[in-house]
Amino acid sequence: MSTTLAQRLLQALKARGATEVFGIPGDFALPLFREIERSVELPLYTFSHEPAVGFAADAATRIRGGLGVAAVTYGAGAFNVLNAVAGAYAERVPLVVLSGAPAAHEATSGYLLHHQVKTLDSQWRVFREVTADAARLDDPKTAPQDIARVLDTALRTSRPVYLEIPRDMPARPCEAVPFTAADAPDPDALAACADELLQRLHAAARPLLMAGVEVRRYALEAKVAELARRLSLPVVTSFMGRGLMSDAPTPPLGTYLGLAGDPDITDRVEHSDALLLLGVIVSDTNFAVSSRRIDLRHTIQALDGRVIMGHHVYPDVPLDALIDALLQRVDRPLPSGAATRAPAASAASAPTPRAADAPALPMDIADAVSALMQRHGTLPLACDVGDCLFTAMDITQAPLVAPGYYAGMGYAVPAALGMQAASGRRPIVLVGDGAFQMTGWELGNARRYGWDPIVIVLNNASWQMLRAFEPEGRYNDLGTWDFASMAAGMGGDGHLVRTRGELVAALDTAHATRGRFQLLDVRIAPDALSPTLDRFVKAVKRLSMPGA
């Protein structure tokens, strides 16, 4: 019995770290789905709407490493998953899109085919714009090399890729998929880069390391933590990098949020004379509300396979090779002194404990989740866009997946399901009511797969983050949806929460209940912002009004 093209593809995905396939079939993808189910190489999980398929596959790879896999049908299915793929591209996620497609004889039938847009190549052209590589597997003889090239590009660039599979191909006999060898960086250039970088750090009075998403994407957290330890180099994370190295022996001092964040962290970043940006995307969400514009010429940027120092660039220095070269060279701490902890919040600044019957606020959610983790250990977090993400900045540092840069809503609930599928760990979800309206219903798929996330809905009856900028916009009003009452119909338990005391009690009950998702519908006054979002909004308004 020969091995099929689909089996070879699944074996190649598994060999590159994939542990499951998320998908929704369609007639152009039925042969592929049949082979996926028959081959038992990777479990297949289906969702209700393709954005969730993409978000789950994205989060699976963020939390576990390796490749994430989203399988969809041609046209209506593929265009539905497109926004999730765009977000994966922006946020450096190695997501593999498998799309069914018309068979060769259909493509030449002379008919316009169902699901077709402008031409049969329209989808191919659109996906080329949001992926690092693509292949059409229309020939079993060339498929092994094409699959190897595309999947290894995904891992090497940490970007999504696209494989289009005509429906007469999955069951065709096919040879094994090889691995492609990555070109090793020039050893002299790598040595020169590492030597210069260490010289700059040793010459600095206030060196600082900022860890960004590539440190997670290339599985370098332990090595970067070891490098910082040997150098006695203080570490912070970017906004997108929140949660990185949270389980390191010395976790980061905190997260850089400019004017919206901890003034000590802001001072360290903005006054560093050797800011080492490791895998940090230089985006507005990471740097927009700086109190003083960081002169990137005085930083050391290692991103996207190159290192920029001052006015010169080392063009081919992958982050993993750089970290290894630095570790080989470090033999003494930096003269700038030991990595000091950020000053602990003084007792005077410690918030006064609020009455249990006080209306629940975003900060109460941060405090309650932090307290839960202190009692029971770290739980991975999945956050959506909105004040929930700013609220998460005040939670104890823990592994966090969130669309912090592309900022596509509807991410967190499907992402949590993907995280639990890939890691087996129970996640906590923070999501606003607006984002929950988009994809919260995917919780209905949790029971049949045994997933049981704890979902905290910040139900402020509005698109509050937008209202913070446009208070008079009535279009931001959403009305109050009774999400707690809807949980049972989807196979979970709902908890209506109005006060701080009810929040703490509901979270304890939710944590103690396994096998059913738990939905905390936390009613929050529309004008109640997290402290971080409040500072962010004020900073943006101040910086966007010249002379403000």
Of all residues in the shown chain, the one whose CB is closest to ligand S1T is 432
- The correct pick among 211, 309, 465, 484 for binding ligand S1T (CB under 6 A) is 465
Residue with tokens 């046209």: 75
Kindly state whether residue 532 participates in binding ligand S1T, applying the rule CB under 6 A: no
Query: Contact 73/102 with Cβ under 8 angstroms?
Result: no
Scanning 160-168, 426-434, 440-448, 480-488 for contacts with ligand S1T by CB under 6 A, the matching segment is 426-434
Candidate ranges 88-96, 231-239, 247-255, 406-414; the one touching ligand S1T (CB under 6 A): 406-414
Query: Residue 212 CB, nearest distance to ligand S1T (Å)?
Result: 21
**Distance from C-alpha of 278 to C-alpha of 489, rounded to nearest angstrom:** 46
Q: Write down the least CB distance from residue 445 to ligand S1T, Å.
A: 20
Candidates 107, 466, 496, 505: give the one binding ligand S1T (CB under 6 A): 466
- Chain Cα centroid distance, residue 45: 20
Taking the least distance from each CB to ligand S1T, the nearer of 214 and 387 is 387
- Is the CB of 282 or the CB of 466 nearer to ligand S1T? 466
Supply the minimum distance, in Å, between the C-beta of residue 477 and ligand S1T: 11
Report, in Å, the least distance between residue 58 CB and ligand S1T: 14
For residue 404, state whether it binds ligand S1T (rule: CB under 6 A): no
d(CA 19, CA 69): 9
Q: Does 409 sit near ligand S1T (CB under 6 A)?
A: yes
State the first-to-last Cα distance of the chain, in angstroms, to the nearest integer. Answer: 74
432 binds ligand S1T (CB under 6 A): yes
CB proximity list for 504: less than 8 A, separation 6 or greater: 356, 368, 371
- Applying the rule CB under 6 A, the residues between 433 and 452 that interact with ligand S1T are 433-435
Written in H, E and C, the secondary structure of 183-195 is: CCCCHHHHHHHHH
| Per-position x/- string for 371-390, each x denoting binding to ligand S1T as judged by CB under 6 A, each - no binding | --------------xxxx--
φ/ψ of residue 439, rounded to 5: -135, 10
Size of the site for ligand S1T (CB under 6 A): 19
The binder of ligand S1T chosen from 123, 237, 460, 499 (CB under 6 A): 460
List 499's β-bridge partners, or say none: 359
Q: Check residue 463 for interaction with ligand S1T (CB under 6 A).
A: yes
Kindly tell me which of 193 and 389 has the beta carbon lying closer to ligand S1T: 389
What 8-state DSSP symbol labels residue 200? H
d(CA 371, CA 53): 32
- Does residue number 418 form part of the binding site for ligand S1T (CB under 6 A)? no
SS3 168: coil
Q: How far is the CB of 134 from ligand S1T (least distance, A)?
A: 24
Q: Does 530 bind ligand S1T (CB under 6 A)?
A: no
Length of the chain: 548
CB of 538 to ligand S1T, least distance (A): 16
Of 415 and 458, which CB lies nearer to ligand S1T in the complex structure? 458
Closest CA to 392 of 376, 404, 406, 405: 404
> How many beta carbons lie within 10 A of that of residue 411, not counting itself?
33
User: Is residue 87 a contact point for ligand S1T (CB under 6 A)?
Assistant: no
Query: The tokens of 250 are what?
Result: 């010395």
- Tell whether residue 58 is a contact of ligand S1T (CB under 6 A): no
Distance CA 399, CA 242 (A): 8
Q: Provide the 3-class DSSP secondary structure of residue 189.
A: helix
Stretch near ligand S1T under the rule CB under 6 A, chosen from 5-13, 161-169, 188-196, 429-437: 429-437
Instruction: Pick between residue 120 and residue 402 the one whose CB is nearest to ligand S1T.
Output: 402
Nearest residue (CB) to ligand S1T, 153 versus 532: 532
At residue 408, what are phi and psi to the nearest 5 degrees?
-90, 125
- Asked if 61 touches ligand S1T (CB under 6 A), the answer is no
User: Cβ of residue 216: shortest distance to ligand S1T, in angstroms?
Assistant: 22
Q: Which helix (DSSP H) or strand (DSSP E) does residue 457 occupy?
A: strand 454-459
How is residue 13 written in tokens? Answer: 């995905």
Q: Does 406 bind ligand S1T (CB under 6 A)?
A: no
Q: Which stretches within 424-520 are classed as H helix? A: 433-439, 446-449, 464-467, 483-486, 500-512
Closest by CA position to 144, among listed 98, 96, 177: 177
Which residue lies nearer to ligand S1T by CB, 19 or 83?
83
| Contact partners, residue 541, CB within 8 Å, separation at least 6 | 469, 548
CB of 458 to ligand S1T, least distance (A): 6
Tokens of 399: 């592994």
Site residues for ligand S1T per CB under 6 A? 385-388, 407-410, 432-435, 458, 460, 462-466
